[in-house]
Amino acid sequence: MKTLYLIGGTMGVGKTTVSQQLKQDTADVIDRSLARISLYQTLDTIKIDTSNKTVQMIANEIIQL
C-alpha cells in the first residue's frame, strides 16, 4: 500500500523533495513513540484510559474531575 501526501502552498521546493523528506521524518516515528511511553507515565498529570470508551463516557469522566 502506498502513502499519499497532499502538499499545497507556494512553489519553491518540489513536491518530490518534500515527499521524500516526509518519508524520512516519519520512518521511525513508531520506534520513537514507543521509547517515550514510559516518560509519559512519570508526568504529573491525570491520565484517563480511553480504551473501549465512547466520547461521551470520556467527557463524563473528565467532568467528574
- The CA distance from 18 to 15, in Å, is 5
Mean pLDDT of 13-26: 75
Classify residue 47: in a domain, yes or no: yes
Classify residue 30: in a domain, yes or no: yes
Classify residue 49: in a domain, yes or no: yes
Classify residue 8: in a domain, yes or no: no
Model's pTM, two decimal places? 0.46
| Domain assignment of residue 52, given as a range | 15-64
Classify residue 54: in a domain, yes or no: yes
Classify residue 4: in a domain, yes or no: no
Classify residue 6: in a domain, yes or no: no
Check pLDDT > 90 for residue 4. Answer: no
**pLDDT at residue 48, as a whole number:** 92
**pLDDT at residue 28, as a whole number:** 80
For 3-64, give the DSSP string: ------S-SSS-HHHHHHHHHHHHTTHHHHHHHHHHHHHHSSS-----TT--HHHHHHHHHH
Classify residue 51: in a domain, yes or no: yes
